[in-house]
Amino acid sequence: MKKIYMANLIDPHGSSQLKPLYVDDAAERQRLSAEALALPSILVSSATAGNAVMLGGGYFTPLDGYMNKEDALLVGQSMQTTSGIFWPTPVLNLVADATALNVGDRIALIDPNVDGGPVLAIQQVTSIETFTDAELDLLIQQVYGTNDKEHPGVAEFLAQGNTAIGGPIQVLNFSYFDTEFPDTFRTAVQIRSAIADMGWSRIVAFQTRNPMHRAHEELCRMAMERLGADGLVIHMLLGKVKPGDIPAPVRDASIRKMIELYFPVNSALITGYGFDMLYAGPREALLHAVFRQNMGATHFIIGRDHAGVGDYYEPFGAQDIFDQIPKDALKIEIFMADHTAYSKKLDKVVMMREAPNHSKDDFILLSGTAVREMLGKGLAPPAEFSRPEVAQILMDYYQQSS
C-alpha cells in the first residue's frame, strides 16, 4: 500500500500522519502469516473483523488496535479515550469466552466472512476483561441511544459476547472487500493518494448505504457548489446491512451509472469502505466524520436521519451532536443538509427548508416502501425522483430477487 501524506491535505485525526495497521511489506506479511499458524486463534465477529479492516486501512487513525474496557466505557461516557483522543464509538474485539487466552499472548484473528477462515490479523493481547450486564447496558444506551434489542445495531452488539480482548493488531488482509469490490474498496491511504493525484484541496465526502436517487445527487451538487469544492468522494458502506437494505454490488452499479451519466468527468471518486453498519445515528455520524477526515475530506455532508434506523433518533440529531463536542475535536467541517426533494413549483430538487410557500403536496415524496413496491413491479419511479438508468438497475435487482 503506497503511503502518501501530502502537506496540503487536511491532517488525519489526532495525528500528523495516517496510521494504517496493514502490514505493507510483503515479506513481513508472509512471515507473520506463517507465525499465525502456530498461534492460538479465535473466530471473531463480523463487527470485530470490520474494525480490523478499518484499522488496517488507516480509517481509525490514531488507534493502534482494540480498546480495553476502561477506554470503551470512557468513550461511551464522554467520547474520549483514557489518553484524551476524541472517539465516539467503542472499537472492540468482543467474544463470549476467552478462558483459553492469557494477557501477553499473541493470537490469530480468524475472519468469519471468508470461506476457509483465513487469518485476518494478529493481536497482541494486553487485556482480557468482562463487562458486567450493567456496564454493557449503559454502554449500549450511550452509543445507540436505546437498549431495545429490536434495534439492529444493538442486536449485533449483544450477539458478540461480553468479554473484551484489548491490544494492538497487525492486519494481514482486507477480508473480502478488496477481492469482491476491487474497483470500489479503497483504504484511507489510497483515497488520500487519489485526492493528491487529482490536485484537489477542498473535498466533499458523501456517505451512503443506499442507492443514490435524484435528491442525493442534487444534494452532492449543492454542497460542492456552495463550498467551492474541487471534488466529491462518494464513500459507500460495503459491509453488512440489515435485512431489506439493497446489497452493495447493486448500490455500487447504480451509483456508478449515475456518476457516469450526470457528473462532469473527474469531478467525483466512487469509493467504498469495509465496515458493517452500526445504525447508531448521531454517534455513528461522528464516527463517519472521523474516518472521512482520515481519508482526506475537508467537508462532510450530514443530512436528515444520518445513520439512523426506524424512529430511534430525532430527524436532525446527527447534526445537533456536532454542537455538543469540543470545537477542536475534529478538523473536518460539516455541511448541514435538510431533506431534499423535487419541487413541482420550482421544477428542481431543493432543500425543503429553502422552499417557502410550499406544502407537502408541492414536493414529490415517496417512502422507501413505496419505491420498493414500484421497483418490484417493474415500474420506474418518476424521473424527478430517480434517474431512469438508475431505476432500471434497481428494477432488475428487485425482479430477480422476488
Indicate if 34 and 148 belong to the same structural domain: yes
Grid cell at residue 79: 467520547
Please give the pLDDT value at position 367.
83
CATH number of the domain that residue 85 is part of: 3.10.400.10
Alpha helices in 79-183 (DSSP H): 133-144, 152-159, 177-180
Q: Tell me, what amino acid is at 259?
A: I
Query: Has residue 10 been placed in a domain?
Result: no
Indicate if 88 and 205 belong to the same structural domain: no
Strand (E) positions, 279-343?
299-302, 333-336, 340-343
Indicate if 241 and 341 belong to the same structural domain: yes
How many independent structural domains does the chain possess?
2
Query: Has residue 304 been placed in a domain?
Result: yes
| Contact of 294 with 58, CB cutoff 8 Å | yes
Indicate if 40 and 184 belong to the same structural domain: no
251 is catalytic: no
- Residues of the chain short of pLDDT 70, as ranges, are 1-7, 402
Indicate if 187 and 168 belong to the same structural domain: no
Catalytic residue among 29, 210, 304, 372: 210
Spatial separation of the C-alpha atoms in residues 144 and 276, rounded to whole Å: 15
| Contact of 48 with 109, CB cutoff 8 Å | yes
Query: Has residue 8 been placed in a domain?
Result: no
Please give the pLDDT value at position 4.
43
Indicate if 114 and 186 belong to the same structural domain: no
**Which range of residues forms the domain containing residue 355?**
179-401
Please give the pLDDT value at position 6.
53
Indicate if 311 and 203 belong to the same structural domain: yes
Query: Has residue 223 been placed in a domain?
Result: yes
Catalytic residue among 29, 209, 256, 304: 209
Domain boundary residue among 145, 175, 205?
175
Please give the pLDDT value at position 3.
46
Sheet holding 348-351, edge to edge: 348-351, 340-343, 363-364
Indicate if 216 and 166 belong to the same structural domain: no
Query: Has residue 334 been placed in a domain?
Result: yes
| Contact of 199 with 266, CB cutoff 8 Å | no
292 is catalytic: no
Alpha helices in 84-204 (DSSP H): 133-144, 152-159, 177-180, 188-198
Indicate if 267 and 391 belong to the same structural domain: yes
Query: Has residue 7 been placed in a domain?
Result: no
Spatial separation of the C-alpha atoms in residues 287 and 294, rounded to whole Å: 11
**pLDDT of 159-174, one tens digit each?**
999 999 999 999 999 9
Please give the pLDDT value at position 402.
67
**pLDDT of 325-353, one tens digit each?**
999 999 999 999 999 999 999 999 999 99
Strand (E) positions, 145-267?
163-171, 203-208, 231-237
Nearest to 259 by CA among 228, 233, 287, 238: 233
Query: Has residue 40 been placed in a domain?
Result: yes
Indicate if 80 and 94 belong to the same structural domain: yes
